[in-house]
Amino acid sequence: MASSAVVTERRTEKLDVRVSRAAKAKLQAAAAASHRSMSDFVMESALARAEETLVERRTFGLNAETWTAFQAALSAPVRPLPGLRALLHEPGFFDTASARRAKRRSR
């Protein structure tokens, strides 16, 4: 669920969302039914969903066999990945010309 600290902290950022007329009516009805302003209802709902999404990406469950295999993979020696090494030495899209030259020289 959304943290009350996030909901009650000073709001300094603006977020604009375009919705259909039907979606707006549904949000207004839900906000009214929960005795909340539309802004509070939408923010609390969005933050709760964001928290659910982030939790799903931070934790995962493994059975004993899979956990053992996972630990073995983490403990295994690093294997060389020449393709990845080459990619990391490529100039990036946002690199400046001088940074690109420096990367090329470091190969």
DSSP states along 60-103: ----HHHHHHHHHHHHSPP---HHHHHHHHSPPTT--HHHHHHH
- In this structure, the answer to whether residues 26 and 68 fall within a common structural domain is no
Percentage with pLDDT > 70 across the chain? 82
State how far Cα 15 lies from the chain centre: 17
In total, how many domains does the chain have? 2
- In this structure, the answer to whether residues 80 and 54 fall within a common structural domain is no
- In this structure, the answer to whether residues 25 and 40 fall within a common structural domain is yes
Q: Scan for tokens 């469950």, then name that residue.
A: 61
- In this structure, the answer to whether residues 13 and 46 fall within a common structural domain is yes
- In this structure, the answer to whether residues 42 and 71 fall within a common structural domain is no
Helix (H, G, I), strand (E, B) or coil at 36: coil
- Asked if residue 89 lies in contact with residue 80, where contact means CB atoms within 8 angstroms, the answer is no
- pLDDT value, residue 99: 67
pTM: 0.48
Domain with 20 in it: 4-58
- In this structure, the answer to whether residues 39 and 8 fall within a common structural domain is yes
Indicate the pLDDT class of residue 64, thresholds 50, 70 and 90: very high
Q: Quick one: average pLDDT of 4-20?
A: 80
- pLDDT value, residue 42: 95
Indicate the pLDDT class of residue 81, thresholds 50, 70 and 90: very high
